Amino acid sequence: MLDKLHTALVQQAPALFRLPVKLIPAAAQQALMLETLKRVFSEALDDDEFEFLENRWLEVHVRDIGFNSYISFDNDKLVVKQNIETPDVRFSGDLNDLILIAARKEDPDTLFFQRRLLIEGDTELGLEVKNLMDSVDLDLLPPLLRQGLFSLAAFVQKGLQTSAHADEAHYAHKI
């Protein structure tokens, strides 16, 4: 019974986040995104590892909640905007998959080949972004952020695994 509730929460979470994404002003969403990126990538920013993104735009698209954010690097600072004409590269995935990638519970390459993570546009730039993400030492994140990410990812992972097991059992029963 609790496993079914857990699975339902994980599966329905994106639908629950769609409304706040629509209601929260874009400026507030982008400010939160910028502050989060600054914290997560503080070491990379200090080491000037974002120069490859100078005058180029990365779009992060969370498909199932309708969230888009555009990220660039200008004058030694990260820049986040709500909308631009044409991004150079686009990372697109569903909320649960992106949470698992962020916590390193799921391999981005695996999700890419399963078409659950899409990388469109300048593939060389996309690879540089992916390598930068891989280089983040999660142990250096602020403890509250790190623990929150790991707890959320464990919750999502367990809910998705329970769902997969239920699907397998249902399929086996039909055979």
DSSP 8-class letter at 88: S
* Per-residue tokens: 130: 């992916």
Give the global pTM. 0.84
DSSP state of 24: S
Per the CB < 8 A criterion, the answer to whether 94 and 116 are in contact is yes
Residues comprising the chain, all counted:
175
What percent of the chain has a predicted confidence (pLDDT) above 90? Answer: 64
For the stretch 102-144, pLDDT in tens is 999 999 989 999 999 999 999 999 999 999 998 888 998 889 9
Contact criterion met (CB below 8 Å) for 99 and 116: no
Euclidean distance between the first and final Cα of the chain, in Å?
25
Is residue 117 within 8 A of residue 106, CB to CB? The reply is no
Phi, then psi, of 136 in degrees rounded to 5: -65, 125
Residue where the block lists tokens 């080491």: 47
Burial (CB count <10 Å: 0-12, 13-18, 19+), residue 63:
middle
Question: pLDDT tens for residues 37-64?
Answer: 998 999 999 999 999 999 999 999 999 9
Q: How far is CA 111 from CA 15, 93, 105, 107, in A?
A: 21, 9, 11, 7
